[in-house]
Amino acid sequence: MSHALSLTQLRKSYGTQSVLDGVSFDVPKGAIVGLLGPNGAGKSTLIRSIMGIVAPDEGVIQLDGEPWSRERVRGIGYLPEERGLYKDMRVGDQAVYFSRLKGMGKSEAVRELRSWFEKLEVEGWWDKKVSDISKGMAQKIQFICTVVHKPGLLILDEPLSGFDPINARLIIQQVRALAADGTSILLSTHDMPSVERLCDNVVLINQGQVVLSGAADDLRESGWAGEQDVVFKGNDIAFTNALGTLAHLDSIGPDTVEGTRRAHLRLRETTPPGQLLQALSEAIEVLEFVKVRPTMESLFIQAVNASETPAT
Amino acid sequence: MRGSLIGTVIEREWRTRVTKRSFLIGTLLMPFLSVGLVVATVLLTDATDTSNLILVEDAPGLITRLDQASGQYVPRCPGCFPEREKHAYRFVREAPVDSVWQAEGYTVLVEFDESILQNHAGYMVYEKSPGVNAKRYVERDLSRAVEHARVLESTALDWSAYQELKVDIQLFDREVTDGGDRTDGGGEEIRGIIGFLFSAVLFLVLAVYGGLILRSVVEEKSNRVVEVLIAAVQPEALLLGKVIGMGAVALTQIVAWSLLSTLAFTAFQWAFDSGAFTAGMVADGGVPIDLMTTMAENEFTAILLDINWGLMVLSTVAFFVGGYLLYGSLYAAIGGLVQSEQEGQGMVFPVIMPLMFSYVIGSGAMSNPEMDILPWLSWFPLTSPVIMLVRVAVGVAWWEVALSWLLLMLTARGVLALAGRAYRQGVLHNGNSTGWGLLRQWLQGHGK
């Protein structure tokens, strides 16, 4: 199966400074891929290379299984991190202009834009000048201009920056809907909760290299360090005794429901969760036994730290 | 597809500017201001003229006789003292003292004695100056009346026979060209002024619109629109679209100015010729005053009649197109290389130097339109847009104009391509260096 986007050994240097150092990953069709990385990791250069704004020194970019071309790039919906609008133009005229640059006819653009303006609740702003609208409103217009031509591949660089939580949720809903309709999405962001909520796959780059990649669930699963939450009814001493040497107790205290207790444990490497559950069930009444997988944020920090630690 | 994208960029650049209130005001105002200047020049002299009732004291009885029927003194020469709207004569042999003729409503007393036949001089007495026109009328009318007296006194001719014999010689200039042909020529200074006026307008339009391009490019960079644009349009195409779009705005303005000026002038001419401003006024020959005659009499407006408007407007538009493509693309490239308009102004100076130099030379050509350096500068593409207009006004072989324009267009084409690459380097650049530093990097081949 061809991918919406496929990068192979992408390299780019500015003078002696290497910004991209052999980056390879794919964006499967219909998937939302989170592109993560600390500031200066090379995310923007990577995106600008895909968009043809900078020319990579080496490597192959394929779009829809075909070699990169300017014409194919025009089909991509691109929302750059540093984005803006013409202040002296009317909102509607400006959206039509951007749509036409993406190859849409004028009447088609107006029709599609009107529908999107309604979806994002900005229909009353069509005739306003950009200088008269709020920053959040302008962000919505930019989002609409990015998606109006129904791109097969969307590249969103920090799409939620500048949005209040209500509007951020509205945008997330639309991103999900687009993905559900088959749009492939590369989402570059520092907002880890949105990565957890949205992304099927994650690519983490640092210092121009991919340091972690894969399905988000798999990564969290493989990053599991034996952490477990247990909610129970019973005696703390009986609970501790039942743990024995199977797990290390991090904390214990009352849970939200009266008479219940919550403990946070870390299993020993050799202890299967089932064995611990059996041991605990014999001593106390176990109400919940939940595997605590690492957050994307902790995986991110771990991976970045690991990639920056010199090998011994 | 590339063409339609450029077309979309051109359309936006054009539409957003021509629908601006400032553009509409400037476009509508300019023709009415310029035609208004002509109107004011023609009318103001008349409007500011005070009514003059002139008492002519013909003590020696040279130019007047007593009309028995009316008991008034009247000119001997028929038609020498025509009645004008704000200019009337009465004649006496002996004028009363100043306070009396003033009290009787006269504003000017004209005095002379028999010596006027030899020394051609008299006096004009007044409390308040009657104005330049009044003085000119009196001098002209009195001259003809004295001439009439001298003809009758010194010759056997009667006045009408003398009038028929009298000739006014007018010399028309003919220039011998390098090829040995004779062409209409002469009046180079006036035509030099005309040429300079057109080249000054061109210089201003090039500088103003170049500045607008620079501002527009810097704005697109600072408001981050450019990142979205170049994802869809190649930088070179974007630059071309911007330059052509803004040039179309300038051309729209020039064409609108020409049409509206023609319209306003035609309306004024119609009103003037139909007597709306000149009721009751007649020229010397007794025919009604028309605008062209009136303009020809005025030093400033006479220049306007000397202009071959068709040729000059056509040349201005042609050299504007070439000059604009050349300088506009340089301005756009600078806009791409800098971070602020202020920084851009610093880089613009060396670029605009040839244009300023040609403006200075053009102003010198007003007084000396045959300067040796002019032909060279009118072929050199960086100076030809301004200088060739001076030469076109003065008179130049068509092949020189065509060759100069061709050179200009070819250079503009090359500069446009080069500017497109510099613009690409500027707008796509990710580092810290800007302006001259970035240009140096690019020239050294680091700006890939």
Give the residue-averaged pLDDT of A234-260: 88
- Per-residue pLDDT at B448: 43
Distance, C-alpha B254 to centroid of its chain = 14
The span from the CA of A230 to the CA of A217, in Å, is 22
Cβ pair B251, B427 in contact under 8 A: no
Cβ pair B156, B92 in contact under 8 A: no
Q: Give the pLDDT band of residue A114 (cuts 50, 70, 90).
A: very high
- Of B325, B342, B124, the closest CA to residue B239 belongs to B325
Cβ pair A20, A11 in contact under 8 A: yes
Cβ pair B369, B192 in contact under 8 A: yes
Sign of dihedral through CA atoms B284, B285, B288, B291?
Answer: negative
Beta strands in B45-101 (DSSP E): 52-58, 64-67, 72-75, 87-92
- Of B423, B446, B22, B442, the closest CA to residue B218 belongs to B423
Contacts across the A-B interface (CB distance below 8 Å): 62
- A90: nearest CA partner in chain B: B16
Give the residue-averaged pLDDT of B391-407: 87
The helix (run of H) or strand (run of E) holding residue A34 is strand A32-36
Mutate which of B11, B23, B218, B228 to test chain A, going by most A C-beta atoms within 10 A? B228
Name the more confident of A230 and B278.
A230
- Per-residue pLDDT at A153: 94
Give B154-159 contacts, CB < 8 A, sequence gap 24+. Answer: B159/B77, B159/B78
Which of B102-111, B167-176, B389-398: highest mean pLDDT?
Answer: B102-111
Mutate which of A50, A100, A157 to test chain B, going by most B C-beta atoms within 10 A? A100
Q: Give the pLDDT band of residue B392 (cuts 50, 70, 90).
A: confident
- Of B298, B293, B275, the closest CA to residue B283 belongs to B293
Whose structure tokens read 């062409």?
A: B183
* Residue A62 β-bridge partners: A6, A67
Q: Give the pLDDT band of residue A154 (cuts 50, 70, 90).
A: very high
- Of A31, A19, A29, the closest CA to residue A199 belongs to A31
pLDDT digits (tens, 9 = 90+) for B185-204: 555 667 777 788 888 888 88
Interchain pair A51, B8: CB under 8 A: no
The span from the CA of B352 to the CA of B234, in Å, is 27
- B16: nearest CA partner in chain A: A89
Closest CB from B15, B16, B224 relative to A82: B224
Residue B447 has pLDDT above 50, yes or no: no
pLDDT digits (tens, 9 = 90+) for B272-291: 777 766 555 544 444 456 67
- Per-residue pLDDT at A50: 92
Cβ pair B393, B202 in contact under 8 A: no
The span from the CA of A39 to the CA of A41, in Å, is 6
pTM score above 0.95: no
Angle at B366 between CA B361 and CA B369, to 5 degrees: 80
- Per-residue pLDDT at B231: 80
Interchain pair A54, B227: CB under 8 A: no
CB atoms within 10 A of CB B96: 15
Distance, C-alpha B276 to centroid of its chain = 25
Classified as helix, coil or strand, B53 is strand
Residue type for B376, please?
W
The span from the CA of B248 to the CA of B12, in Å, is 11
- Per-residue pLDDT at B148: 85
pLDDT digits (tens, 9 = 90+) for B217-254: 888 877 778 888 888 888 888 888 988 998 899 889 88
- Of B263, B253, B258, B264, the closest CA to residue B20 belongs to B253
Angle at A180 between CA A177 and CA A183, to 5 degrees: 90
Name the more confident of B296 and B107.
B107
Give the residue-averaged pLDDT of A212-234: 86
- Residues contacting B234, CB < 8 A, separation 6+: A70, B2, B424
CA distance A166 to chain B (A): 25
The span from the CA of B94 to the CA of B111, in Å, is 10
Q: ipTM value of the model?
A: 0.74
Residue B326 has pLDDT above 80, yes or no: yes
* Residue B183 β-bridge partners: B175
Classified as helix, coil or strand, A269 is coil
Which of A10-19, A25-34, A209-218, B113-122: highest mean pLDDT?
Answer: A25-34
Joined together, the tokens standing for residue B218 give: 């810097």
Ranges A110-114, A252-256, B371-375: which has the least confidence? B371-375
Residue B182 has pLDDT above 80, yes or no: no
Cβ pair A92, A126 in contact under 8 A: yes
The span from the CA of B16 to the CA of A129, in Å, is 12
What are the two backbone dihedrals, phi and then psi, of residue A164, each rounded to the nearest 5 degrees? -75, 165
Q: CB-based contact (8 Å) between A135 and chain B?
A: no
Interchain pair A84, B223: CB under 8 A: yes
The span from the CA of A89 to the CA of A83, in Å, is 15
User: For the packed helices B309-337 and B398-428, what is the interaxial angle rounded to 10 degrees?
Assistant: 20
Q: Give the pLDDT band of residue B39 (cuts 50, 70, 90).
A: confident
- A153, A159, A163, A166 alpha-carbon torsion, rounded to 10°: 40
Classified as helix, coil or strand, B329 is helix
Average pLDDT, chain A: 88
- Residues contacting B299, CB < 8 A, separation 6+: none
Classified as helix, coil or strand, A203 is strand
